Structure 1
């Protein structure tokens, strides 16, 4: 596996690393409802129970990662992809991509799923790499065996795994980017 960076996709006007899971449940649901009503971004298609399912999956991923020796600092992760996935730009009205070197992250504070956390954890057992989170060393072995979904499934015809998701469990390596987001909210 060659050098892979982490990529984050977001709405340009709002800034990076805005996470519904960081909001209180009622506030997150209000934001999600506004997105549904607007109907012009990928997130507008989410089901009414999306946020409760997501919070449960995030708790499970955090626990599985900690069981493997991971040291998550955050209760909920920030999301990135391992390797570029330009398709994700289409999720936003004015999509933006941010690239950060993987070497800037402590391996003990980053987990991975082969595919987006949502289907990867919900469809456990349907594919050998679903239903679990991986450490950096483990995901390298999975890539050696199965390849990068961005390469073999760029159009999504092979299933929901179109990228490897990285769950970032610490704000420290993202501090400068999080400050940009805070300024955009003012």
Structure 2
């Protein structure tokens, strides 16, 4: 199975960045810059309510981290980089039809990545929230759809919009991207 991980970003943003990898004060400065420079839907989270968003995201990421560890994951970072499987029309629109960065899932060590049904932030307090799962569980879900990732995604998209992937390392990124997370 050739499954791609896709990360969406606004055209003005650099790839392989997470505001959560910055010191808190710097994260708030960058959030303000992003909010002021682009009013795409995804950057609205960096607006006046960013303090709430930031605290909530810390809470969600701690829960994701804990669940991943309980499953035997080996995170190298406290805060993941976010991808979706194959595509997510909603995210693509949220980033103003921006740039997609893709990584082949078969090149990712299974202990470096976890998955959730839907956006982990949006699903965190939802009654429909499903637990974090690993690659082997993902493959078993897809197997139930004749090994067809598109059939599987088409089934879950009406309810969850996507399968989110949390990548807990930066080792799959170009070296220059691993050295600095300063520019979002």
Q: TM-score range by the shorter chain?
A: 0.7 to 0.9
User: Which residue among 66, 82, 85 is the counterpart of 1:63?
Assistant: 66
2:4 corresponding residue in structure 1? 5
Say if 1:39 and 1:15 are closer, same or farther in 2 by CA, change over 3 A. closer
Q: Is the 8 A contact 2:6 2:101 kept in 1?
A: yes
1:80 corresponding residue in structure 2? 83
Aligned residue pairs total 174
Q: Structure 1 length normalisation: TM-score?
A: 0.79
The whole-number CA distance in structure 2 between the counterparts of 1:183 and 1:116 is: 23
Q: Is the 8 A contact 1:40 1:93 kept in 2?
A: no
1:178 corresponding residue in structure 2? 177
2:167 corresponding residue in structure 1? 168
The whole-number CA distance in structure 1 between the counterparts of 2:101 and 2:152 is: 19
Say if 1:19 and 1:175 are closer, same or farther in 2 by CA, change over 3 A. same
* 1:126-170 residue CA offsets vs partner (Å, 9 max, x unmatched): 22xx24211101123344569644x2465xxx34x2111111111
Structure 1 gaps of 5+ residues are none
2:94 corresponding residue in structure 1? 91
What displacement does 1:86 show?
4.1
1:23 corresponding residue in structure 2? 22
Q: Is the 8 A contact 1:113 1:132 kept in 2?
A: yes
SS of equivalent residue, structure 1 residue 122: coil
2:42 corresponding residue in structure 1? 43
1:102 corresponding residue in structure 2? 105
Q: Is the 8 A contact 2:41 2:95 kept in 1?
A: yes
Q: Is the 8 A contact 1:109 1:168 kept in 2?
A: yes
SS of equivalent residue, structure 2 residue 124: helix
Structure 2 gaps of 5+ residues are 146-150
Structure number with the bigger relative contact order (C-alpha 8 A, sep ≥ 6) is 2
Moved more, 139-148 or 51-60: 139-148
